[in-house]
Structure formats: structure tokens, C-alpha cells
Structure 1
């Protein structure tokens, strides 16, 4: 009955080709081995969902979002929490799966390598388990959560990092089409965003890798602009108080982005 239930559950998620492959492989396993492997995978998925939901509280916390680089810190924190979990409860799904399908003497549990791999799978959350299923051929359709954002074919992504030498405080980012010849440099440009500005501090590349860059617009990813069309970027800030606090405008930066381009610019102001 348990084996039949496992196949009914699989049929709800697997395409016909993958289900046929799974049935062929399952036919080569003893019933108790298949039941054990199925139970292990289901428990692994449920724990991954629970850990993902628990970590979402921290990852969606505003101070965390505004302070840390999410793509650098989330995987590391998720792995640490997952490893603490598997070490505390002596949980080793990878070794359990190996023991379920091998016909030789069973490996003692838990294994160090098995726990590390289990923690890595759990750190990926439900999307990580889904990626595993896709890679093994058990699923053919990727969910939006597993797909990285891509630049639309008729757009380009632009990101600006400012190095404040003469200015201090906020920096306005103006983006648009270049004005007619002889017109003011910022005519027709729209305010795309504001760079908070601030000291980069010490720590070098490691600090910049894990902490959010307050001198970048946008903070993550890129700002969409039309591709294959002239584009102008101008930064506007104020000089430091000791230098009078007068407005300072950067030299206009004109370019034509290619389709699907990802452009990172560094401008001194």
C-alpha cells in the first residue's frame, strides 16, 4: 500500500516520460528499499519548506534587507542554519538514501559528508529541492522561483556606482535621451533614483561583497532602459560643507546600449 501511495504521489508531479523512467528504476529495487527512499525524499522536502519559511522572517526583515547583500549572505546563513539543524538532530538524508538503494552492508549514520550535503540541499529551500528534481529528470518545468531574472530582449540594464570625492550626502541619478544640441545637459532627463551615499568604510572586497553598497543605483540588479536607443546619464550632488556645499553635476555620459546589455558604470563626483 505504501509503495502504491508513493507512485500515486509521483504521478501528480512527474511527466509521463519521467514517470516511466522512475517506474523502471523502481522495479529494480526491493519494495522496502523504494519505500524507504520515497519516505526520505518526502521528509527532506518538508524540512526544506519549514526551514525556508522560518528563514523568510529574517531575510524579509527590513534592517537585514537594507544592510546586507542578499545574494551573498542568504545562501551562507541558510547553510549555517541548516547544518546546525542536521547536527543537532543527527539528520543525514543523503546517507539514508544511499543505504536505501545499496545492497551491500549499510553505512553508519550520520556521516559527516552526508550531513554537509544534506545541509546544502536544505539551504536551497523548496526551490533547491525542485532544482534537484529537474536535474534528475523527475520534473521538466522550472518554477519562477528557480529562474534567475533575465534582461528583456528590447531592454538593457544599467547600474551606477558613485565614488564621492568632492560631494557628500545624496546623489540624484538623472536618466533619459540626450537633449538637442545647445540645450542644457539635463534638459528632458528624468529622476530615476537617489543614491543615499556614505563612506565605503574599511574591510576591502570582503565587506563590499557581504554588505549592501549604499553608493550604487539600483542597490541590486539593474535599471531598465530602452536598448538600441541613445541614453544619457547625469549625476547631481552637493559639494562638501567645507567646500561650500554648492551643487555639482557630473559630465554627461552618452551611450547606446545593446539589446539585453548589462552595464555597470563607476562615476566619480
Structure 2
């Protein structure tokens, strides 16, 4: 067990206030359980293949599913990003996450939605994300793969911090989105599409920093159970994304 990666005591002090209170019997050690969950998600393992040093794999799985249903990991992400303050600059983009056949086996409509759609690349989900000027995610949204960037941006807009600038590629160039940003006093740095008769100028120097949001997606996809979706339920998959974002960017 000593050779297995474990969360440090300082990281656990940051996370522990957001854990649900234990009721009844004393639950298994939070540090060991959370370290095991991270190990499984990062390495793309099946739960039954988790190292025995983290404890019974069924306990790891049950803890992750139960806390996902309670929204614990999403709450941790929201709380830590909220404490970071208001950034001066934001960047928005999206990426596709391919769904494994085990995730798509229960593909159906209704509530709760699976957030799996069909595109030319097959069945996948789409992660819309906004990061700050340092490349740290501050808002995320999981949708079906076929959802447009415009619609995803509209759904993310109410969650945006009150920054001064927002950088996006030309896929976000629309009058409606620009107007919505102007109402929030956010200056867009978005290149005009080729279909615009009169191009709208943008700060090319600022736009060169957009690679940070691409780098952020790359680091999240280093977690193998995020690069390939194995979870059938959208809330468990999004919880894995939130946990990866917290561990990668928001823990000391």
C-alpha cells in the first residue's frame, strides 16, 4: 500500500469540508477511498482491477457512485473555482469525448439524459468548458456530441465570472453571443467567420493565448476514463471530469 499514490494531507484538508457527514457506522477512510477512485479514473481501469491496497473495489465503486449522485464532486469544483476570485480573462472551447460501447449500451431518451449523441465520429459526448487566463477550468458543461458550440456557450453564459475579456475561436462568432457578452460587460476576442461581409476586428495578440484552453483539454484527457467514456450515467461521468479538474488544477 505504501507504494500506491495517495492524496497528501494538505490536499485532504482542502477537500474534507465538502464531504458528506458520516451517519451510523464509521465509514472507510476517506483519504484511501478518494485516492483509489482517482487511481481508477486516471488509469482507465475497471473497478474490479483497482489495487487491493485501496480497499475492496466494491467499496470504491459504491463511494464514487453515491457521492456522484449527491453532486459532491461538482460542488467541490464549483466551490474551489469560486474561491479563486474573478479572472481578468476567460477562454471558451469544446471537445468531443468518445463513448465506449459499454456507455452507449443503455442509450435512451428521457430523464435523466445520458448526454450521448451521434456525430460523424460515432457516439460521443461533448465537453464545453471555460478556463481563466492561467488555463484553469472555471465552468464546464457536458452535452450530447451533436450540440453546437453556440448552444453550449449560451448554456454556459450564466455561469461565467464577471471577467473583462473572453477569447474564443470563430465557431463562437455570432451576433447573439456577442450581444450577450456585451450585456455582461465582457469584451469578446473572437475572429470573424468568413461569411461576415464586414469582419469585426479582434486583438490578435490576446487571441494567441487561446492555446491554454486546448492545453487544459489535453491534460484532462490524460485521465483515461475521461478520454474514453465508460460511464453510462451522465452524472457519474461528469463527476469524474470535475474530480480530474480539481486534482489537476485546484489542489495545492
* TM-score (normalizing by structure 1): 0.23
Mark the structure with the bigger radius of gyration: 1
By relative contact order (CA 8 Å, sep 6+), the higher-ranking structure is: 2
* TM-score (normalizing by structure 2): 0.24
